[in-house]
Amino acid sequence: MNDLLAWLTQLPDALLYGAILVAAFLENVFPPLPADTVIALGAFVAARGNGTELGVWAATMVGNVGGAMLMYGLGHRYGLPWLVRRFPAIVSPSAASRFSERFKTQGMAAVVVSRFLPAVRALVPPMAGALGIGAVRAAVAMTLASGVWYGLVCVLAFRAGANADVLLARIAEQQRALGIGAVVIVAAAGLIVWWRWRSARRSAEGRDS
């Protein structure tokens, strides 16, 4: 981390914003990349130089949504079977099945909520494309989720003290909290869908008897 921070500190403002944009873009294409760390440290450096919260946030959003829509386009162009074959480490058959069911029952809300789950958020754009969620709806949903999360990252970075380790720890805590909240929302939505299905089935059985 210290090497990354030192490298970012040496960059002029324009290249710093560029590095943030590229990291946010590649997060969707190559999920193992620690994009949150790069963006958080970039924002940390920008806050102590001539950067602005809006500038960092805008660079992050352009990169993140751009990368997400690229993966959406691949999913839409080639479909779910191709995604499972081409990206087995990212789109497993079981994950594809779970996302398919969730998107069918919860629609755009599932896209928004799933983008807050660190372990699966890279799956969301190609899955949305493969499952036929409209490009505008998908873009709005992913922009909303990314805007909230990276807005929080920028605020934390620009309000942090001089210790980057403390900043990363706070971001990790916020990410866990958002992830837990997203899991709770998904579970609640699933319970509601199940309850409605059960009620409809009981009503149908009552009419048949």
Residue 113 dihedral angles phi and psi, to the nearest 5°: -65, -40
State pLDDT tens for residues 109-146: 777 877 877 667 788 888 888 888 888 988 998 899 88
pLDDT for 97: 72
Query: What is the average pLDDT score of the chain?
Result: 78
Is residue 86 predicted with pLDDT exceeding 80? no
State pLDDT tens for residues 59-80: 999 999 999 999 999 989 988 8
State pLDDT tens for residues 142-193: 899 889 888 988 888 888 766 677 777 777 776 666 666 655 655 655 565 5
Give the mean model confidence (pLDDT) for residues 87-115: 71
Place of tokens 């983008």: 115
Residue 114 exposure: Cα atoms within 13 Å on the Cβ side:
25
Residue 129 exposure: Cα atoms within 13 Å on the Cβ side:
21
CB-CB contact of 156 with 174 (8 Å):
yes
State pLDDT tens for residues 16-26: 999 999 999 99
pLDDT for 179: 62
pLDDT for 143: 92
CB-CB contact of 43 with 158 (8 Å):
yes
pLDDT for 169: 75
Is residue 203 predicted with pLDDT exceeding 80? no
Confidence label for 106 from pLDDT (cuts 50, 70 and 90): low
Confidence label for 197 from pLDDT (cuts 50, 70 and 90): low
